[in-house]
Amino acid sequence: MSARARIRSGDPDVFRELFDDHARSIYNHGFRLTGAWSVAEDVVSLTFLEAWRLRERVDVDGEAGSLRPWLLGIATNVARNVRRAARRHAGALARLPPPEVVPDFAEEVVGRLRDRERLAQVRTALAALRQPEREVVALCVWSGLDYAEAAAALGVPVGTVRSRLSRARGKLRKLVTAGKLQPSGEIREPAVSRGQIPVDRTIAVRFAQEKAR
């Protein structure tokens, strides 16, 4: 049985393989869309749980194609929902009385990050772009999908991907000219050392547990 057919049938072993092959890519994509490693953890978990829920929609006719664009499309939708939830949560907190001031050690921790300058570059780029533009940059530039794959992942025409990417590039060029981004235009998130992804294959194990119920 092919991998796609096994996915459609709910084979937990193939989902473990899928997780091992693509978790890092989804983790990086989640960061590129949200600007936060901790949120990227949630994106990974929710993406693979959603992939399990949508497994019967996998196209068995595309046997030779990678499932990475499909997963990145799911991750993009998950990131949108996570960001919306975060905005609602922030709004609710803003309506609460101000908390008692306590010493903040976060800056001390952040100061130890060797890649904080690169983090700032990524966040500057993300803030300059509208959500649709940010998504096509993350898919086409950072994740390396072609226009057709990105269009399939986002559920939009190829021409829409091209126009969004063109607008995003124009905005990023302005940031380079203003000296706010590195001239190379290569905005990369800090390197993640092997094994640093905070999520693990226990997510995949849940598929087997769910199937056994």
| Each residue's pLDDT tens digit, 77-134 | 999 998 887 666 566 666 666 655 444 444 444 444 445 566 666 677 777 888 899 8
12 close to 211: Cβ distance less than 8 angstroms: yes
**CATH number for the domain formed by residue range(s) 1-114+201-213:** 1.10.1740.10
Min mean pLDDT across 31-35, 167-171, 207-211 is at 207-211
Q: What is the pLDDT of residue 50?
A: 93
Q: What percent of the chain has pLDDT over 70?
A: 64
CATH of 116-188, one of 1.10.10.10, 1.10.510.10, 3.60.20.10, 3.40.718.10: 1.10.10.10
Q: What is the pLDDT of residue 189?
A: 45
Same topology between domain 1-114+201-213 and domain 116-188: no
Per-domain residue ranges of the chain: 1-114+201-213, 116-188
Q: What is the mean pLDDT of residues 35-40?
A: 85
Question: Residues 52, 56, 61, 67: what is their CA dihedral angle, to the nearest 10 degrees?
Answer: -10
pTM above 0.85, yes or no: no
Q: Rounded CA gap, 29 and 80, in Å?
A: 12
Q: What is the pLDDT of residue 177?
A: 78
Q: Residues 85-108, buried b or exposed e (16+ Cβ, 10 A)?
A: eeeeeeeeeeeeeeeeeeeeeeee
